[in-house]
Structures are given as C-alpha cells and as structure tokens.
Amino acid sequence: MSRKYFGTDGMRGTANKWPMTAEVALKVGMAAGVVFRRGKYRHRVVIGKDTRLSGYMIENALIAGFTAMGMDVFLLGPMPTPGVAMLTRSMRADIGVMISASHNPFQDNGIKFFGPDGFKLSDEVELQIERLIDSDMSLNLSDPAMIGRATRIDSTRDRYIEFAKRTLPRDLNLNGMRIVIDCANGAAYNVAPEILWELGAEVFPFGVDPDGFNINKDCGSTSPEALAKKVHEVRADIGIALDGDADRVIIVDENSKVVDGDQLMAVIAESWKADGRLSAPGIVATVMSNLGLERFLKGHGLSLERTKVGDRYVVERMREGGFNVGGEQSGHIVMSDFGTTGDGLVAALQILACVKKMKKPVSEVCNRFVPVPQVLKNVRYASGKPLEDKAVKGVIKAGEEKLGKQGRLVIRASGTEPLIRVMGEADDANLLNKVVDSIVDAVKKAAAS
C-alpha cells in the first residue's frame, strides 16, 4: 500500500494546508487512538512540541482526537523529541507524540509517533493508522463516561535535564569550558543551556528566544554560520548547534570550523571501542555518510552498516544487528545505551566527554578522518516523478560507470520536501562535479517537462 500521509519521519507539511490541517490532525489522533487502544484500562498519551505557532492548533486537534477515543492526554509543552521518546517509556504511556517539523522553517509542521517502547513506529503500524484516517471511526468513539482527560504537566523538563546529565560519568564536569549553545529557537531552548550550566560550563546561549516564527531562522544545525561567528567572538572552546526539535547536532570547533555527524560518529565509535563499550564491531549510518568514515572505521577493525535515509531506519538496523551506535551525517546520533532515537544534546555531551578525556582541543578530537570529496545538490520539482524519466536514468547510469569503484552516487527523492537530492562522492573532485552537474541538469529538464 502506498503511503498517503506518512513520509520518512512521520507526517510533515505546510501548516493549515493538507495534510497538516486541524481536521487531519483530529483524525490522526482518533486513528492512532484506535490502533493503540489495547485493553479496558485508562490509556495514556504524551504530547510534546517545538515552538512553532501552528503547534497550538495541531496540539488541540490531537487532544480532541485522542480524548474522543478514551485516551488520557498529558501535555509536555516544548520538549526535545528524544525527551518525548524517553518520557513515553518513563510514564508508561501507550503512545508518544512530537509535534515538530524538525529543521524546517516555521510555516511547516509535522507529527511524529513513538510506541510504548519509545521507538518510532514501523511502516506497518503507520499504514494501519493511514487506513483508519480515511475511514468512518464513529463506531470506535468512547462512551460519554470514558472520554479522556487532558492534563498539562510541568515536571518533565527537570526529568529530561536529569536524564541527560546521567548519560555522563558522575565525576565528569565541564568546569573551565566555554561553550556556545545554539538552540535554534526550538524545543531545547529552556533545557540545553541549563544542562551545560549545571555541569559546570560557562555557557553562551543563543537561539533561545522563540516567538513562534523564528525557529531555525538563520540559526540551528542547518545554519551554523551564526554559531561559528559567536564561537570566534567569545573565544569559546566549542559551539553546539541543535535543530528545531533537538534530535540532531552539529559541532563547531574553537577555530569556527563546522564538524558534521560523520566525524562525531567516528569520535564516539573510536572512544567507545577503546573503552569496550561497543556492543557490536561497527556502527550504523545511512547511504549519505562519507566514504572517509567507512575507511576510518575499517582501519580500526569496525564495519559501517548502511541504511536508507532516515534515523528510523538506522535504529531498525541497530536493533536487528545489536549495534549501540548509529546516526546520520546530518547530525542524528543514536546511542541505544541512552535512548531510542537521535538526541542532539546527549551526543554533544559524549563529544564533550571525549574532549575532557583526551585533554585536547575540539579541532583535534573531532578531526578523525579526511572526508572524500562529496557534493550534494537539490532539485525542486512541482509534480511528477523525474527519477523515472528515461533520459535521467541514462545519465545516472553513465555517471556510475565514470566513477567506477572510486566513487558512488546516491540519487533519491526527499521524504519531507518536493526535492530530488543528488549526492555523489569520489576521490577525483573534478570528475565528481561533472558527473553530478550532468545528473542535476537532466533532472531539471525532466522536472520542467
């Protein structure tokens, strides 16, 4: 069955336009309530959100849907996505919901689900919900006496702060470190700076004044330029940039150089192997991760298992293979010893632990390998399926033959935006650029026809 509502990371779209309307959100709450209503006890739902203006609308619509199905709703307010996953398990909830469009601009929003185990839903469960959204659910409505209640709880912020701090050894502190933290005016604005301060760091926060419109605007992990400038300005030891829902992280070293998720995974994998903490001889990443990471891991006797794009698929492979470290180049870092999904702040804390342990500057700690030249270009399209065009297929095949074994191509449609992503990497940068440009041109022509 084709997917109508769900993409690679839950539902996502422009707020107040299909499918991110109050009407659809109401039906989503009802449908998810039916799927996760598994007995005659009082069922629980926890709902967190980021700081987008549309979060209020979607939150209230979901509340109506869940309570109509007899589920009690606990509202967390602004909360990082990994915090919602953790609290879903901690509060013994039947389902967890995060209202967020992650790194997208404020006008977008989305709905992510977590099962009672704190993991994102499988494709099969999402399809169950999809089938119900467009069906008549009137027969599933609760009796008047069984309609659910909605309660806003305030203690969860402190619970996430304590959880994050406990991922570090008790005797480790950040005394003497100057840290810039960019919270993207998003979900972590009121927890991330406090965690770093409580651990002893001198903290320089920004992106901590959300107004409903400025989430991810010229800040956060997708716009690290402001962070790099601030690190230089205050002579910080490190800069940490989260995205809107704080499930991904990008680091900036003391020289204002950006460090991506591949380097962070290399740091953690090498450190955890030395400490005997890796549960399997390797890590999991997506097809987008750099060949340099794969070669680095191989040099340390570790493998790199690749999945399709999406941290949900990384987590699925980690669970299948018994891996406890995985992630994406974009900064989703998953450490299953601590949580069930990517956690930008906890990943940053692990990097800080390595910096303290090695007693070296961030520029040395986070420079584990030389990346293979990589090019990523996006082509926006209005409709159709450009990748099924015969001419596009021919150009892609020719490009693969030119790169041979010294490079690779990953061409895919985005699961969250109407984009074709053309990524290539090869040791020969000039050849790589020619190949990628030829594919981009072919895709543009197909998209325009």
Element (H, E) at 302: none
Is the bond preceding residue 371 a cis peptide, omega within 30 degrees? Answer: no
Alpha helix stretches (DSSP H) within 281-412: 291-299, 311-321, 344-358, 362-365, 390-403
Active site residue 102: yes
Residues paired with residue 376 on neighbouring β-strands, in sequence order: 423
Catalytic residue among 102, 221, 256, 289, which?
Answer: 102
Q: Report the 10 Å Cβ neighbour count for 324.
A: 17
Beta strands in 214-312 (DSSP E): 238-242, 249-252, 258-259, 282-286, 303-307
196 Cβ contact list (under 8 Å, min separation 6): 174, 179, 181, 203
Provide DSSP, 120-181: BPPHHHHHHHHHHHTS--GGGPPPGGG---EEE-STHHHHHHHHHHTTS-TT---TT-EEEE
β-pairing verdict for 95-99 and 108-114: antiparallel
Nearest to 69 by CA among 22, 46, 36: 36
Q: Report the 10 Å Cβ neighbour count for 352.
A: 24
Q: What are phi and psi of 50, to 5 degrees?
A: -95, -155
The answer to whether the beta carbons of residues 183 and 205 sit under 8 Å apart is yes
DSSP 428: -
Separation of alpha carbons 242 and 245, rounded Å: 8
The answer to whether the beta carbons of residues 323 and 279 sit under 8 Å apart is yes
Q: What are phi and psi of 80, to 5 degrees?
A: -55, 145
Catalytically active residues are 102
